[in-house]
Each structure stands twice: as C-alpha cells, then as structure tokens.
Amino acid sequence: MNVSLKSVVTAIAGVAAAAVIATGAMAANINGAGASFPYPIYAKWAGAYQGVAHVGLNYQSIGSGGGIAQIKAKTVTFGATDAPLKKAELDKFGLAQFPTVIGGVVPVINVPGVNAGQLVLNGEVLADIFLGKISRWDDPKIKALNPGVNLPGKAISVVHRADASGTSFVFTTYLARVSKEWAGSVGAATAVDWPVGIGAKGNEGVAGNVAQTSGSIGYVEFAYAKQNHLKHTRMVNKDNKVVVPSADTFKAAAANADWAGAANSGFYIILVDQPGATAWPITATTYILVYKQPQDVNATKEVLKFFQWSYKNGGNAALSLDYVPLPQNATQAIEASWKQIQGW
C-alpha cells in the first residue's frame, strides 16, 4: 500500500477541519473504519468530495472485522466490510447495509523468472497451495496448467491475512466453493485457522510481505497489486476459461446480480465463482454499515450524502483503480433503501 494514500485521507480530514473553523460552516468530517479492500477508492473519492462539499473523510483501514466491531461499539459513524452481514444480524443491531463498489481479489506471487499475468492457476490448485498440499512451484499440478513456463524448484511461501478480514472472507468463500477439502477442513470466514503460511495485517501487509519474500504467494484486492507492482496470476473460471483480473472481468462476474431483490436481504450478495466466459472467479462487492436510528443523525446523513455523490460522480475514479461502479439499478435500489434510516 502506498503511504501516500494514507497521507491523502489524513490531509483531507485536516483541510476540511480547518475550513470548518475558518468559515463557521456546519459541515464536519465523516468518521469511519473497516475494510482495506476499498481504501484506495474511498481515498480518491474523498479528495474530490472535499473540494465540492468541504467535508473530509477520516477513514481507518483496519480490516472488515475491525469495521464491524467499531460500528457495533458506536465509535464511528460508519463501518466498512467486504463480508456482508446477514439480515438477522443487521436487525439484531439495528443496522442498515449497502454496497458501494465492485472489485476483485487476486492471487499475487513473487516467483523468480515468472512475469505478471504469466502464471495460470485454477481453484483446485490454489486451494491445495493454501492447504499446504502443493509446496513447490515446480509441482506437477502447477506445471500442467503452465506448459512452457519455466517454474523454479523453489518452496512456496504462503502469505495470508492475520486480522479479521473481508478480503479473507471473499477468498476463503471462493476456496470453499471450488474445494470440498477446503470447505470441510477450513471453511469460509473473515478469520480462519490457516493450515500453512505467515499472517500479515491488511491488504497493505500482505502486499508488502509478498513483495519482500521470494517464492511467495498471497491474495489482495487488485488495486493493491497494481499500486505495489506485484505479479498477479490468471485464473481458470467456472466456465473453464482462463481470465485476467480487470474491471471488465469483475463486471462480468456481477452481471447476473439481482440488486433490487437483494434489498430485502440487506444487499447480501456473494459474487465468487460466478458463471460466464469472461467472469473473474474471485469478485466481490464491499459494504457500508450505518445505524437506522443513529446517535448523530446529521453525521449519518453526511455519510449517505458522500456515497450518493460518489455513486453519481465517482465512476471514472473507480475505473481508474480497476474497481467497477455499481450499475444504476443497484444505486437506485440502495438509495430507496435509505428511507429506513432516520434523518434521510
């Protein structure tokens, strides 16, 4: 993760606060915490929004588990998570949930002599690597998917998330869909008992560890792979087609989502292992959590205004970071669902 992104958000918050003091305006900073998956796009949206609304974003990229914990503890105005809460849990805590943007989780590698996008993996092989069953890069199963690629006889070093992570939820949900052994022995959650590997905090930590460790493999949101110049793999999808991670392949994975219908379940949508010749198999949408009856009605209203503006004006910024903006039918359903939030 580039340090400059964190500096952007800190600077935005400081500038906005100064503007409030200087002008006597009623606007205040938006306070949130959670998923690192969407951090790059939230930072970019925040920079543009501050210039328009004079409202800054104070967002802590602490992982989905932290975001859920902080909103439940009412220490932030909004929480952010890549692992959606089911309706029963939303109702229990009086929370509303809505998605903001679509992105992709990608395997990233540091293998000498192998270039970005050169290595092909499928779900079974990826699961076996993270199970520890495949422990060398020249394993016959990897070689069978990569004829002509010079794979070294080097040990595989697995890097996974150490914190409660929505990115891990997406990744392990995919592995559980494609591997019965993974589903039975490890399962899918924001935090699991990893069979092998070393843990790192945040997408930032995984990206940093992979970059520094020869022979390693990890998983991050695609923007982190690009920003940190990491080598991503290609994947074999549900239709048995080899695909590359991109905004187009993430969009293809979300093509069949029923956004209007999902409003009845708090927009609980899982986009991994979707059909489609061009669908990226580890696609996800990321979510915001706010209280339906917030302690600070005006602060929550500012959160909704920020994301409403981002839906309308932030599409190009999202695409520039290889996220996919939500389609219009999704944003319409989301904004209609905000009627349940006091003050909107």
pLDDT digits (tens, 9 = 90+) for 259-286: 989 999 999 999 999 999 999 999 999 9
Q: Can you tell me whether residue 255 is helix, strand or coil? A: coil
Residue 24 has pLDDT above 70, yes or no: no
Residues 6 or more apart whose Cβ sits within 8 Å of residue 168? 160, 161, 189, 190, 191, 192
Contact 65, 31 (CB under 8 A): no
- Mean pLDDT, range 52-65, rounded to an integer: 95
- Mean pLDDT, range 316-337, rounded to an integer: 96
Q: Read off the pLDDT band of 26 (50, 70, 90).
A: very low
Domain ranges of the chain: 3-103+255-269+284-340, 105-253
CA 182 to chain CA centroid, Å, is: 21
Q: Read off the pLDDT band of 29 (50, 70, 90).
A: confident
- Mean pLDDT, range 313-339, rounded to an integer: 96
Pick from 57, 30, 65: which is nearest to 168 by CA?
65
Q: Can you tell me whether residue 24 is helix, strand or coil? A: coil
Q: In Å, how far are 48, 62, 101, 320 from 316, measured between CA atoms?
A: 12, 26, 12, 6
Contact 324, 284 (CB under 8 A): no
Residue 12 has pLDDT above 60, yes or no: no
Helices 39-53 & 297-313, crossing angle to 10 degrees? 100
Residue 340 has pLDDT above 80, yes or no: yes
Q: Can you tell me whether residue 81 is helix, strand or coil? A: strand
pTM: 0.89
Residue 319 has pLDDT above 50, yes or no: yes
Q: Using CB atoms within 10 A of its CB, is residue 140 exposed (0-12), middle (13-18) or buried (19+)?
A: exposed
pLDDT digits (tens, 9 = 90+) for 87-116: 999 999 999 999 999 999 999 999 999 999
140: which 2 tokens?
């016959």
Helices 3-23 & 39-53, crossing angle to 10 degrees? 20
pLDDT on residue 28:
61
Question: Which class is 105-253 in CATH?
Answer: alpha beta
Residues 6 or more apart whose Cβ sits within 8 Å of residue 265? 86, 87
In DSSP terms, 31 is beta-bridged to 58
Residue 21 has pLDDT above 60, yes or no: no
- Where is average pLDDT lowest: 23-37, 158-172, 280-294? 23-37
**Domain 3-103+255-269+284-340 grouped into CATH 3.40.190.10:** yes
Residue 14 has pLDDT above 70, yes or no: no
pLDDT digits (tens, 9 = 90+) for 112-170: 999 999 999 999 999 999 999 999 999 999 999 999 999 999 999 999 999 999 999 99
Residue type, 27: A
Residues 6 or more apart whose Cβ sits within 8 Å of residue 3? none
